[in-house]
Amino acid sequence: MAYSDKVIDHYENPRNAGAFANEDDDIGTGMVGAPACGDVMRLQIKVNPSTGLIEDAKFKTYGCGSAIASSSLVTEWVKGKTLEQALDIKNTAIAEELALPPVKIHCSILAEDAIKAAVADYRLRHTDRLEHAACQPAQAAA
Shorter beta-carbon distance to ligand FES: residue 64 or 119? 64
| DSSP symbol at 39 | -
Q: Is 107 a catalytic residue?
A: yes
DSSP bridge pairs for 29 = 44
Report d(CA 86, CA 89) in Å as an integer.
6
Q: Is 64 a catalytic residue?
A: no
Q: By rule CB under 6 A, what count of residues binds ligand FES?
A: 12
CB of 95 to ligand FES, least distance (A): 11
Among 17, 31, 34, 93, binds ligand FES (CB under 6 A): 34
Among 54, 67, 83, 117, binds ligand FES (CB under 6 A): 67
Shorter beta-carbon distance to ligand FES: residue 33 or 56? 33
Q: Does 37 bind ligand FES (CB under 6 A)?
A: yes
129: how many CB neighbours lie within 10 A of its CB?
Answer: 11
Report d(CA 10, CA 50) in Å as an integer.
31
Tell me which of 36, 37, 99, 135 is the catalytic residue.
Answer: 37
Give yes or no for a contact between 107 and 63, defined as CB atoms under 8 angstroms apart: yes
CB of 68 to ligand FES, least distance (A): 9
Q: Where are the alpha helices (DSSP H) in the chain?
A: 5-12, 65-78, 83-87, 91-98, 105-141
Among 107, 114, 115, 119, binds ligand FES (CB under 6 A): 107
Which residues have a catalytic role annotated? 37, 107
